[in-house]
Amino acid sequence: MPAKKKVNFQDTEVLLIVEGLARDGLDNKDIAKYFNYAETYFSGLINSISELSEALKRGRRPLEVMVENSLFRRAYGGIKVKTQVRRFLEERCDCGANNKCEICKGTGKKLITDVEIVQETITELPPDTGAAALWLKQKKSDIWNKQPIRIDATTGGKELSTNLQIEVIDKRDQVDENPDD
């Protein structure tokens, strides 16, 4: 079995290839396969070689921005304009399929050249609350990605002899009215 060819992931040409593969949408497993490496070994290389990690990030950044913009447009809603061009090449003749008609020669259809009808359809796209929630959880996670507060109290198997009152104050909901103070 031939030995694997070692790839220098600090070489600028190799890094450009890696960046291009990431831009094409390949994940780490596919890029590792491209260079004939195991996925776990390639992941270790990503962690140890900063240039490789940066090349992957640069390659994926445009894709992330495109997906982010698409998600935002879907969350916000909007108007979609669809333009359709129809070209008619024949039209009914007024003769009623008369064999003596010189225009259609008895077929009932006359030939038309360069007749196009442009039809625009405007559709309103409603905002998508699911996309909006996902957008807010990703961009404003400190406000919109709240996890429920869990309290675990045990008595070690003994019965609770007194009434217990627990007051929970969630400081995440308090608004600082004077942020400059």
Q: Are residues 101 and 32 in the same domain?
A: no
- Of 106 and 128, the structure prediction assigns the larger pLDDT to 128
- Say if 102 falls within a structural domain: yes
Q: Are residues 89 and 121 in the same domain?
A: yes
* 55-114 pLDDT tens trace: 999 998 888 888 888 888 888 888 888 988 877 666 667 776 666 677 677 676 666 666
The pTM of this model reads 0.44
43 domain residue, yes or no: yes
Higher pLDDT, 96 or 121: 121
Q: Do 61 and 89 sit in the same domain of this protein?
A: no
Residues 6+ apart with CB under 8 A from 84: 118, 119, 120, 121
How many C-beta atoms surround the C-beta of residue 14 within 10 A?
16
Share of the chain above pLDDT 70, in %: 67
Number of separate domains in the chain: 2
User: Residue 3: is its pLDDT beyond 50?
Assistant: no
Q: Is the domain of 107 the same as that of 45?
A: no
- Average pLDDT of the chain? 79
Q: Is residue 10 part of a domain?
A: yes
Same domain, yes or no: 3 and 67: yes
One domain, residues 20 and 57: yes
Higher pLDDT, 105 or 29: 29
Domain co-membership, 21 together with 83: no
Domain that holds residue 115: 79-125
Q: In this structure, is residue 49 part of a structural domain?
A: yes
- Give pLDDT, residue 180: 56
pLDDT at 14: 92
Sign of dihedral through CA atoms 100, 102, 106, 110?
A: negative
Domain membership of residue 158 (yes or no) is: no
